Structure 1
Amino acid sequence: MPDTLLLVDIQHDFLPGGALAVPGGDEIIPIANALMPAFAHVVASQDWHPADHGSFAEHHAGARAFDIGQLAGREQILWPTHCVQGTPGAAFASDLDIAGIHDVVRKGDNPRLDSYSAFYDNHHERATGLGQRLAARGTRHIHVMGLAADVCVKYTVLDALAEGFTVTLIVDGIRGVDMAPGDTEAAIEAMRAAGAVVVTHDMVLG
């Protein structure tokens, strides 16, 4: 049985109809549900922003969602308000079998730093604790899927590889924002180039 499956940000606000909807985001939920029983350990990351998070466009005068602004003196994509702590949008997708999740890691709770990766904030100033938890279990290999391919999945995979984990990317279990055409394909290639093995979920289930 494979050891660890990491589900990245499968939350209402990233699904069609959500505040920061990823096209086709709901299509990965059956894949996650099918995979979870095949793994000894399932971890889910959860975007968990305070309402005053500095990455939200509404907190920048005259800004619109997806503009490039500044946060704590650094360049920042300004996002629609999403995944605010305790709101329905921050909850895991209703159709996701949350009974199959063994551990949850929350990220993005510092209003002055965004946090795409499930391992660190964007500037590596603070770890989420995920790396330490996995290491404590003796985990060295993780399978990754979730949302969004070209943002949080990409940075999670790159951080995992940099931390010394081997990573299998479940490519039919991801969907991207594609702010620019081709972003998702470029993200997949970046993850592959960094060392991720790219498979489909049926290859994992055998």
Structure 2
Amino acid sequence: MSIPFEALSVGESDVLVVIDPQVDFCPGGALAVAGGDEVMAPINALARRFAHVAVTQDWHTPDQISFASNHPGRRPFETIEVAYGPQTLWPDHCLQGSAGAAFHPGLDLPQAELILRKGFRPQVDSYSAFFENDRATATGLAGYLRERGLTRCVFVGLALDFCVRYSALDAVREGFGSVVIPAACRAIDLDGSAAATLAAFAAAGVTLADL
């Protein structure tokens, strides 16, 4: 069930968290999400309604454990077992300093107060803005939000069913209000992952808001 965006009554303790609005996740990129570029304009418009904006940035090394290219005989989108559990394999993407890792040129967020890089540890992938995929290594975002008195996260970006999903669910676990705006997200939808994401949001108490 969704509520209108206006019903959120955005205030000083809210932060818009923009997840991975990067070239490689948009059409033509190494891990393109269909329609990924379409979210930039609504994100820019939304950001003007928030006093606080944070942005995450996937930031991988070439030896990242989740790259299929580092597992001979494996293909992207297969799942393997690693030390911390199941891990989906991906095409090489968002390599540190590459054009693909850059923010999409349509993104216009000069007011962003935090850019949080994640996924830079070769031995563990990172979907969530709060934790690496081992579910134990924190990114530091929770502490940042608490120190600044920010109590509710509103999530937009790419991709709905992976990095947005993990971030929104972790926000709830960390005690923050958690809202997702699906119209400002796009999904990969790998084996039904988009529908599973919406079900997970409902079960965890993540609020959905309509634009």
Q: Are the structure 2 counterparts of residues 74 and 102 from structure 1 closer, same or farther at C-alpha, using a change threshold of 3 Å?
A: same
Residue 188 (structure 1) aligned to one of 198, 203, 208:
198
> Deviations 1:89-131 (Å, cap 9, x if unpaired)?
1111111003132211111111111110000001222111111
Q: Does 1:103 align with 2:104?
A: no
Q: Which residue of 1 aligns with 2:67?
A: 56
Amino acid at match of 2:25: F
Equivalents in 2 of 1:166, 1:150: separation in Å?
19
The letter of the residue matching 1:169 is V
1:127 to 138, 144, 163: 138
Matched, 1:18 2:32: no
CA shift digits 1:103-161 (9 cap, x unpaired): 11111111111110000001222111111101011111111111111100000001000
Higher helix fraction: Structure 1 or Structure 2?
A: 1
Residues 1-206 of structure 1: pairs in structure 2 closer than 5 A: 1-2=10-11, 3-72=14-83, 74-180=85-191, 182-201=192-211
Matching residue of 2:4? none
Q: Secondary structure at the match of 2:57?
A: strand
Helix, strand or coil at the partner of 2:116: strand
Kindly indicate whether the alpha-carbon contact (under 8 Å) linking 1:115 and 1:122 is maintained by their aligned counterparts in 2.
Answer: yes
Structure 2 unaligned blocks of 5 or more: 1-9
Q: Give the conservation status (yes or no) of the 8 Å contact 1:175–1:184.
A: no
Aligned length: 200
Does the CA contact (< 8 Å) of 1:158 and 1:194 recur in 2?
yes
Q: Could you tell me the TM-score, scaled by structure 1's length? A: 0.93
Which AA in structure 1 matches 2:167?
T
Report the alpha carbon displacement of residue 73 of structure 1 after superposing the two structures with TM: 6.3
Runs of 4+ aligned structure 1 residues displaced above 4 Å come to none
Change (3 A) 1:196 1:112: same
Partner SS for 2:69: helix
Q: Distance in 2 between matches of 1:185 and 1:54?
A: 27
- d(CA) in 2 for partners of 1:94, 1:177: 21
When the two chains are superposed, the root-mean-square deviation of aligned CA atoms in Å is 1.2
Identity %: 46
Shift in Å at residue 76 of structure 1? 1.5
SS where residue 89 of structure 1 aligns?
coil
Relative to the length of structure 2, the TM-score reads 0.91
